[in-house]
Amino acid sequence: MADAKDKKKNPAASASSAGPGTTDTGEGAHDEGHGHGSELTDVIELGSRGDGLSKSALGVGIVGLVLSVVLGGGVFGLTFQRAYLAAFMWGLSISLGALAWVTIQHLMAARASIVMRRLGEVIAQGVIIMALLALPLLIPVLMHDPVLYSWLDHEVVEKFHLHSKEPWLSSASFAVRMAIYFGFFIVFARFLLKTSIKQQAPGQGLALAAKLQARSAPGMIAFAILLTFCSIDFLMTLDPIWFSTIFGVYYFSTAILTFCSVLMLGIIWLQSRGVLSSAITAEHRHDVGKFMFGFIIFWTYIGFSQFMLIWYANIPEETHWFHDRLEGSWKPATLVLAALHFAIPFFGLMSREVKRNKGAMVFWSLWVLAVCWFDMYWLVAPNFLKDGVSIGVVDITTLLGVGGVLLWFVLWRAKDVSLLASGAPRLDQSLAFENI
Amino acid sequence: MSDTPKAATPEAPAPLYGVLAEYDDPTTLARAARKVRDAGYTRWDTYTPFPIHGMDKAMGIRMTKLPWIVLVAALIGMTVGTVFQYWTNAVNYRWLVSGKPFWSWPANVPIIFEMTILFSAFAALGGMLVLNNLPLPAHPLDLKERFRRVTDDKFFLFILVRDPKFDDRETRELLAATSPTVLDDVHEDRSSSDQVPKGLVYALLIAGAASLVPFALFAKARESKMSHGRIHVVWDMDFTPSYKPQSDNPLFDDQRGMRLPPAGSVPVGHLRVDDHMYQGKIGQAFASTLPQGIVADESTMKLGKAQFGIYCAPCHGQSGEGNGPINQRAETLKQGWVPPSNLHQQYLRDQAAGEIFRTITHGIRNMPGYASQIDPEERWAIVLYVRALQKSRTAQVSDLTDAERAQLK
Amino acid sequence: MVTPSTTNPYQGPLKGDNPFAQITDNVSRIMEAPKPPLAWYIALGFALMLLGIFGASLGYVVWEGIGAWGHIHPVAWGFPIVNFVFWVGIGHAGTLISAVLFLFRQNWRTAINRFAEAMTIFAVVCAAVFPGVHIGRPWLPYWMFPIPNQMGMWPQFRSPLEWDVFAVGTYATVSILFWYMGMIPDFATFRDRSVSTVRRFVYGLLAMGWRGSSRQWHRYERAYLLLAALATPLVLSVHSVVSFDFATSQLPGWHTTIFPPYFVAGAIFGGFAMVVVLAVPARQFFGLKKIITMKHLELMAKVILATGMIVGYAYAMEMFIAWYSGAMYEQFAFLNRAFGNFAWAYWTMIFCNVLSPQVFWFKKMRTNVWVIFVVGIIVNVGMWFERFVIICTSLTRDFLPANWGAFIPSPIDYATLAGSFGLFFTLFLLFCRYLPMVAMAEVKAFIPEGHIHDH
């Protein structure tokens, strides 16, 4: 905190030396009005405040996973696998969204978001547990069990002439790629958190901020490519014939959405426990709300482009994927997805007052998390449930299982670190941030 | 700044309009604004060269209704875009495109979206202007030479006399206490007229009337008939020259109007790679069997008989002995005629089925080929029928089944 | 005839004793100087010459028919559509800088947003000319609009080409509204500084009686925010719609779902490159180095690098999915791009768009005006080739070998391409001289002196 105070006294010095992202003409030292930058007395450690939630999350998670395995016909059962994949991709999107968001903040040398950056860094640690949670999906692939991925079945390969895809669609290359994805995600997430913590040491802020920004550029490139292929491998290859070049972007939009919702819920929960209660203001929450609103539109843009182009050209090897999702009871399900994922939250999140209201944002964050899960379900299930929609107990228990374990892990990681990136240069500007 | 366009008229002093205070920086102005706000004034304003962050709060300006206006305009734009496309493409002028339904909404979304944005954008700018009471050509403040720097580097606070709280002394004292660089009276503007200049009114009227002329012409055109044909601007597009068969065409090197298809090109459905079916051959030799797809059954035999009756019997005769009506007629004319073959000759009996097929297809001696008249399947049916005819002359009792033999007895 | 000034009237110390006045003077003196520098006249002369070529060649095309261009079966969309997409792409950076960067609170945009917006409008004008003439009968463009007519017909709203009419039309309209609205306070400044009656009248008319009231500023800022919020999805939609022209077809190399965001990123990329190409000489010749600083150029270099990487991502995804799809035609289309008849164009594109911006990883390069300028030009060349590659490789080599053909541009193709730059630069040079090139009010609002410094 002392560091932040020093910066406050000399904002010009910090701005001009804080790396190339800042500007002179665009110097937005909004230091009028809100003086709490210099006298921040917030609690910035979680300590034991999250123990109760953490314990119940772990309990729910374990019970959920066990129940899912039992009710879903074992680890190799189709019901379990398909429900688990949707829940897993949902959980993974939260962690990956956090990773992307933190990287983008570094890249743009963003000021407004600094007070929330540590939360993002901690949530991004979820990739570690998600790597472990990937094992139930990976094991059947390694054992050449085509329960989920039909390309492991030789007959399917023969029938649909998939030989040319074999270098990609084989259990060995799948496993190698998984190792690369999660290896990178974990290393990168840990790097971002560790370096950010090191910034708290006196005199480290500026140098490490420059380092974080410099590493974020290649990091973002690698991340974009790996996130794309990760989503292609887990979701797109469920239908080994279908292909869409925009698929990675689609999953990316979900990732940012789920992360922003979790961040919003996290902030409100922490503040209700008396943590960061004055550092993060309605202005910051408003900003997260704008991100949610923006990405609601972005998701629609990407989803509609993908649908419209495939619908319009009507080429059999592409159209069948949407045909599966527009047959029988899947058609209303698809329309419901569009309504729940776009139309309703679009109008719901439009107002400035809503984005600044805690109660409303709890509602909309939960809403967005729920529809993003439904989106994942919609990507996975129609490949298997040709007769129509059926959301069973296992779909819910896997979601609770993955969500519970992920929440427990993130809370556990959050316990020992400061929840405010207090070493970051220009923290004072973030504290004083105001929307236009 | 040498000329002052509107110097205050000296004769009768105009009534006081308000009091103007000038400041050098935003901070002093904001402090003054807070004081005026807290003193309860309502008819006052500040004037600045640029929007100052925090001035809304300092002056106590309430949030504008503009976003709602824009939202309403957006909804109208969306509705117009949707309904108009629906009505034109699905009701009024139905037009089938790429096999899609008349109302295929995904293809209408882009235009609906654009209309939404267009309407809202006009509402945002137009709403701003209307709410701000712009354009406003004249204002008493224009009479102040110093006020010109409001768009450059000076900051002003102006309280109107009309304000219920306005008091000639108190208001001045209040402003004087805010450390303005200058405090000045502003009088009502008597020099500039409230009336819109006559010339401008006439110009607008004339322009407005003139803009209706094209629409009047459209309306007239829709209600009246033309005495002459349409006007052709581009003759070679309206009257495309066409070339008739056998005519010459200077566009091509060989000057021929009729073009051959490119060498090696095959029309759809004419890829005839099955030699057995289309040439009657297996390898180099003629096939002795029917090709795949032609079954020796009752229906094929009937087809063969019908086709034989149409195409073969006129020369070869109904029973294939080479004495059809054409042959009989030719014999009577005695003009040198190669008679059609008797199909029951031994060498024809010995011919492979494929060779007979070849003969029907390409002809032999003075018999023409029938490829252009008879489909390959039908030619094979004829081959089958010819075989049956030949068989009919040499059939043995042993060829019959037991049941048939029993019937004969 | 005015004799051009041989010394640059835009150099030299700024008038005014405070930063606001200096900013006003820095921008206003461009318009107020009696004679612009020689360089401006030379540039205008060159631009007018190109504009003449443009007029003459388009006149020839209209007279002779569009066969005067190098169109020949199967390439019915040759240079005109390449140029159209190229110019529309250029036209995206202005609104992007104005709107998207505004929403993301990137305040550095204030130095460049005004002339980027102007650039947008001029680029859209250039773009609109090409399909306008390419329709074959340019005297009938109103057929594209839903006007009731005696035939009882309506346009075909389900065609991507009709979407283009609405998207580009809306974009041009909203860009002009946005541009004009941003200029209102600056017109007022010009009005109040004018000494001649004519200028005072003209700028006064354009300023519509703006006097800087805070109550008006409040609504003005809200309207500006709303327009920015509307323009952001609009700018995404416009190039998406342009990409739909291609992507809704079934042609290999055209039909790919990543086209909408890929085209948008490419447009931003090319547009920023064009902003850089214009900003470097503009700040030099009009003495705006204090407003458009090295920092701004460096940030634009970074944006170019970032969007270049996104474009590279799209190239890679296309290649990967073409292989992964297992579809023969898709695979061939992309192999043909890289190694086929237009391989040279493809590798030019890769070099210009993916490789050349890589120099911006180094701060030394990002802060060198010449490097930025040259890379800006290279990227523009690359973005033109990108559209050329997409259109011409796919059309010349589609499904049926019997339908393959060659494409050789005619001299008129080159003349119209070069001529469109004449139109663009003529408009831009006139803008520089007579309209506020920098948003003075916005720049003032973001300097430290423009803030309230107390509670």
Mutate to test the interface with B, among C20, C135, C235 (most CBs of B within 10 A): C20
CA distance C243 to chain B (A): 12
Query: What dihedral do alpha carbons A193, A195, A199, A203 form, nearest 10°?
Result: 180
Inter-residue contact B152 to C436 (CB < 8 Å): no
CB contact under 8 Å between A312 and B53, yes or no, is no
CB contact under 8 Å between A312 and B107, yes or no, is yes
Q: What is the pLDDT of residue A25?
A: 36
Chain B residues with CB under 8 Å of A434 CB are 53
Strand duo B367-368 + B363-364: pairing? antiparallel
Provide the β-strand partners of residue B301.
Answer: none
Chain C CB within 8 Å of residue A319 CB: no
Higher pLDDT, A408 or B344: A408
CB contact under 8 Å between B109 and A304, yes or no, is yes
Neighbours of chain B (3+ CB pairs under 8 A): A, C
CB contact under 8 Å between C402 and B25, yes or no, is no
Q: Round to whole Å and give the CA distance between B133 and C378.
A: 48
CB contact under 8 Å between C21 and B84, yes or no, is no
For C6-12, the CB contacts below 8 A with 24+ separation are: C6/C38, C7/C37, C8/C37, C8/C39, C8/C285, C8/C287, C9/C33, C9/C34, C9/C35, C9/C36, C9/C37, C10/C37, C10/C285, C10/C286, C10/C287, C11/C287, C12/C287
User: Where residue B199 falls among pLDDT bands split at 50, 70, 90?
Assistant: confident
Q: Give CA separation, A18 vs A12, B64, B379, C65, in Å.
A: 10, 37, 90, 59
Residue of A nearest to B106 (CA): A308
CA distance A310 to chain B (A): 11
Interface of A with B in 298-327 (CB under 8 A): 304, 307-308, 311-312, 314
ipTM computed for the complex: 0.92
Residue of C nearest to B97 (CA): C158
Chain B residues with CB under 8 Å of A326 CB are none
Provide the β-strand partners of residue B182.
Answer: B22
Q: Round to whole Å and give the CA distance between A375 and A367.
A: 12
Q: What is the pLDDT of residue C152?
A: 81
Chain segment B213-261, per-residue pLDDT in tens:
988 988 887 788 888 887 887 777 788 878 888 888 888 888 888 888 8
Q: What is the pLDDT of residue A431?
A: 81
How many CB pairs below 8 A link B and C? 238
Q: Work out the mean pLDDT of chain C and round it to a whole number.
A: 90
Q: What is the pLDDT of residue A253?
A: 96
**pLDDT score of A16 more than 70:** no
Quickly list DSSP for B108-134: THHHHHHHHHHHHHHHHHHHHHHHTT-
Chain B CB within 8 Å of residue C250 CB: no
CA distance C353 to chain A (A): 16
In chain A, % helix, strand, coil (3-state, to 5) comes to 70, 0, 25
- Of A116, A90, A86, give the one whose Cα is nearest residue A101: A116
Give how far the C-alpha of residue B218 lies from the chain's centroid of Cα atoms, to the nearest Å: 25
CB contact under 8 Å between C181 and B111, yes or no, is no
Mutate to test the interface with A, among C224, C257, C313, C365 (most CBs of A within 10 A): C257
Chain B CB within 8 Å of residue A359 CB: no
Interface of A with C in 191-230 (CB under 8 A): 217, 221, 224-225, 228
Residue that the structure tokens 């892990």 belong to: A409
Across A412-426, B102-116, C321-335, least confident range = A412-426
Average pLDDT over residues C58-72: 90
CA distance B126 to chain A (A): 21
Chain B CB within 8 Å of residue C364 CB: no
Quickly list DSSP for A51-80: HHHHHHHHHHHHHHHHHHHHHTTSTT-HHH
User: Where residue C191 falls among pLDDT bands split at 50, 70, 90?
Assistant: very high
Chain segment C118-149, per-residue pLDDT in tens:
999 999 999 999 999 998 888 888 888 998 87
Chain segment A53-63, per-residue pLDDT in tens:
999 999 999 99
Average pLDDT over residues A57-86: 93
CB contact under 8 Å between C163 and B114, yes or no, is yes
Model-level pTM? 0.81
User: Where residue C7 falls among pLDDT bands split at 50, 70, 90?
Assistant: low
Chain B CB within 8 Å of residue C235 CB: no
> Three-state DSSP class for B156?
strand
User: Where residue A15 falls among pLDDT bands split at 50, 70, 90?
Assistant: very low
Residue in A32, A309, A312 nearest the CB of C454: A32
Q: Round to whole Å and give the CA distance between C57 and C145.
A: 26
Q: Which of A44-53, A102-111, B263-272 has the highest mean pLDDT?
A: A102-111
Across A25-39, A97-111, B31-45, least confident range = A25-39
Residue in C65, C170, C215 nearest the CB of B45: C215
Residue of B nearest to A306 (CA): B106
CA distance C42 to chain A (A): 32
Inter-residue contact B382 to B312 (CB < 8 Å): yes
Residue in B25, B47, B121 nearest the CB of C211: B47
CA distance A312 to chain B (A): 8
- Of A224, A365, A219, give the one whose Cα is nearest residue A295: A365
CB contact under 8 Å between A311 and B54, yes or no, is no
CB contact under 8 Å between A27 and C448, yes or no, is yes
Across A366-380, B155-169, B391-405, least confident range = B391-405
Interface of A with B in 32-71 (CB under 8 A): 32-33
Provide the β-strand partners of residue B21.
Answer: B157, B183
Mutate to test the interface with A, among B28, B50, B52, B53 (most CBs of A within 10 A): B53
**pLDDT score of C32 more than 90:** no
Query: Backbone phi, then psi, for C397, in 5-degree steps?
Result: -135, 85
**pLDDT score of B3 more than 50:** no
Interface of C with B in 313-352 (CB under 8 A): none
Higher pLDDT, B270 or C375: C375
**pLDDT score of B7 more than 70:** no
CB contact under 8 Å between B97 and C158, yes or no, is yes
Neighbours of chain A (3+ CB pairs under 8 A): B, C
Inter-residue contact A260 to A100 (CB < 8 Å): no
The secondary structure of residue B367, as a DSSP letter, is E
Across A3-17, B244-258, C111-125, C346-360, least confident range = A3-17
Chain C residues with CB under 8 Å of B2 CB are 195
Interface of C with A in 294-333 (CB under 8 A): 295-296, 298-299, 302, 306, 309, 313-314, 316-318, 321, 324-327
Q: What is the pLDDT of residue C11?
A: 72
Q: What is the pLDDT of residue A40?
A: 65
Q: Give CA separation, B148 vs B194, B340, C103, C209, C240, in Å.
A: 21, 115, 32, 12, 45
Chain B residues with CB under 8 Å of A311 CB are 106
Inter-residue contact B112 to B81 (CB < 8 Å): yes
Q: What is the pLDDT of residue A21?
A: 37
